[in-house]
Amino acid sequence: MLLKKLKKYHVVLASASPRRRQLLEEMGIRFELMPKHVNEDFPSHLKPREAAEYLSRKKADAFSGEITKNMLVITADTVVALKNKILGKPAGKEEAVEILEQLSGNTHKVITGVTLKTPEKEITFSVSTDVTFKVLSPDEIRHYIETCMPFDKAGAYGIQEWIGLIAIEHISGSYFNVMGLPTHRLYEELTVFCE
């Protein structure tokens, strides 16, 4: 079982996301939280899946030279894409409104790239989930932004918040991936990685 295999590692979650921390805790994995500030720019020619994986690797690369024996670093980055165009984190209320207006009545992709890194090896993978929003009214968009302040979230929303409860008509794929960590795939990848 994975949890037994992980006992030989000092697991580090390199993320400031409270959602990722919560999900890893709920998986029963013991870890140390060690976020690093990394510039989240990426080459503009990258497709959404490539961008998520690129940013995940970039976060892992920030630990190069610091990873000690038995340390296993987990990094992740989530991107939201509509018709292959990446919608980033909103800079403020107006941009959040614009993003949610684009998502309204449409299906978008949420892609999380994950990197596992030890001194000996490194792998990166990604998981994609399709999310369909109902048509949102201007009042619903404003209410959500004013009450939840989703400025730290790709695509200007969190599925676990009010907007997820009232607006998501359909989801195809992992719910937890939309929260920021594809837990099922992470478990499978860690199981193989730690052999």
Cβ atoms of residues 80 and 109 within 8 Å: yes
Residues facing residue 10 across a β-bridge: 71
Cβ atoms of residues 93 and 145 within 8 Å: yes
Q: Report residue 92 as tokens.
A: 């403020």
**How large a percentage of the chain has pLDDT more than 90?**
95
Residue 180, pLDDT > 90, answer yes
pLDDT at 65: 87
What does the domain layout of the chain look like in residue ranges? 2-193
Q: Beta strands 107-117 and 71-82: pairing type?
A: antiparallel
CA-to-CA distance for 164 and 106, rounded, in angstroms? 14
Residue 173, pLDDT > 90, answer yes
| 77 in active site | yes
CATH of domain 2-193: 3.90.950.10
- Model confidence over 108-133: pLDDT tens digits? 999 999 999 999 999 999 999 999 99
* 3-state SS record for 96-156: HHHHHHHHCCCEEEEEEEEEEECCCCEEEEEEEEEEEECCCCHHHHHHHHHHHCCCCCHHH
Name the pTM for this structure: 0.95
Residue of 77, 130, 139, 152 with catalytic role: 77
CA-to-CA distance for 153 and 179, rounded, in angstroms? 10
Q: Which residue has the tokens 């340390």?
A: 71
- Model confidence over 98-114: pLDDT tens digits? 999 999 999 999 999 99
pLDDT at 195: 87
Radius of gyration (Cα) for the chain, nearest Å? 17
CA-to-CA distance for 84 and 98, rounded, in angstroms? 17
What is the DSSP secondary-structure string of 44-93?
TT--HHHHHHHHHHHHHHTTTTTPPTTEEEEEEEEEEEETTEEE---SSH
The mean of the pLDDT values for the chain is 96
Cβ atoms of residues 124 and 113 within 8 Å: yes
The gap between the terminal CA atoms of the chain, to the nearest Å, is 10
